[in-house]
Amino acid sequence: MTKNILNFHKETARIFAENLLQWFYKSKRALPFRETKNPYNIWISEIMAQQTQIDTLIPYYHRFVEAFPDVTALATAPEDKVLKLWEGLGYYSRAKNLHKAAKIIHEEYDGIFPDHYDALIKLPGIGPYTGGAIASIAFKEKVPAIDGNVLRVISRFNNYSGDIADVKVKKAITDWVAQAIPDAPGDFNEGLMELGALVCTPTNPKCMICPERDICEAFKEGMTNQLPIKSKKQRQKKLEMEVGIIDMGGALYLVQRPEKGLLSGLWSFPIIEEEKTKPGNAIRQTLKTVFPDLPEGKVIGNSKHVFSHVIWNMTVYYFEIDPVMAAEAPEKYGDAQAAFKDREQLAAVALPTAFSKLLALL
């Protein structure tokens, strides 16, 4: 049977921390951002790690810190260059907030990285988890860093049935961890996450090699596969979309996404929701407002793209236009920036995966 109350027992927590640290020092992965305690590098890696698997972020991390080795380099870079380095990683507001925070540190903190939790979480993009991670790892502050791994590990360790999507449950687990933090807060926090990533995994946890097996309540009760409890999120809404690719002698017409909402600020092909009774009409009519002489297009394929909260079923229309139309090539698409981009120019702008994968249809 599971428990719906989370109790803290000091001695149990002490042994838990001891086991964890011993395991972590022996079993931790060699990750690039573990080669330093520089708060800047820790920060970049932690922002990239939000909702992202470590293996995915590693090449991005290398490229990013090479291009922007310190806060000043990032603060003084143009935003489009920052977004370009984030291209394909998703959740692009992370990159924008990273850039904003770098400017704040550069201008208001004299380039000196804030060295404690309370100051860190005031920066855009740094919330309770990331603030705790940077403060504990780079500055040895005794604060928790509660991510999805930690919620799962602590839930199982205590055979605790609280719904980890519930803020009250998150707070209870945060309090438990805060009291359990030993003298090496950074290693402890990293160890908790590493245990969740390598051993106490969401499915098929490797209890046989777990350093906490002997004192894990869920293991004792045979509940590891039922925990944690997590309420479900609702399903993505499906949208039928029409994409227009205009090709002018190899240069493609790109538009910048609006300032708010999905993929905001990044580049895309013109795209609009289909009018159900008239397939192809919506994109064609929209494009004709900027290209009155638009020739007939053809469908070159379909593409499905799954976002966090919506699914696009895209029908891709292809239009070839004469280079003489370059003279009238509009730099505005509605209110948005727009331009024909040749291969080299295309490579310089941030084109999200939803659109870059359409290039394979050409």
Partner DNA sequence: CACGCGTGGCA
Partner DNA sequence: TTGCCAAGCGT
Closest separation in Å from C-beta 22 to DNA: 18
Stretch that binds DNA, among 69-77, 171-179, 180-188, 225-233 (CB under 7 A): 225-233
Cβ-based neighbour number of residue 254 at 10 Å: 23
Let me know: does 216 contact 2? Beta carbons within 8 Å. no
SS3 273: strand
**Contacts of residue 169, Cβ cutoff 8 Å, sequence gap at least 6:** 162, 163
Q: From the list 44, 82, 89, 271, which residue makes contact with DNA (rule: CB under 7 A)?
A: 89
Nearer to DNA, 234 or 277 (CB): 234
Q: From the list 1, 53, 277, 360, which residue makes contact with DNA (rule: CB under 7 A)?
A: 53
Let me know: does 143 contact 135? Beta carbons within 8 Å. yes
Let me know: does 301 contact 271? Beta carbons within 8 Å. no
Q: Catalytic site residue 194? A: no
**Contacts of residue 339, Cβ cutoff 8 Å, sequence gap at least 6:** 253, 254, 329, 331, 345
The span from the CA of 292 to the CA of 264, in Å, is 27
Q: From the list 4, 7, 22, 56, which residue makes contact with DNA (rule: CB under 7 A)?
A: 56
Q: From the list 306, 326, 347, 359, which residue makes contact with DNA (rule: CB under 7 A)?
A: 306
For residue 338, which of 262, 273, 241, 244 has the smallest C-alpha distance?
244
Give the footprint of DNA on residues 115-174 (CB under 7 A): 123-131, 133, 147-149, 152, 167
Decide if residue 187 touches DNA (CB under 7 A): no
Q: Which of 11, 18, 35, 46 is catalytic?
A: 46
Closest separation in Å from C-beta 332 to DNA: 22
The span from the CA of 194 to the CA of 73, in Å, is 31
Active site residues: 46
Site residues for DNA per CB under 7 A: 31, 45-46, 49-56, 88-93, 97, 123-131, 133, 147-149, 152, 167, 190, 193-194, 196-197, 202-204, 230, 232-235, 260-264, 305-310, 352-354
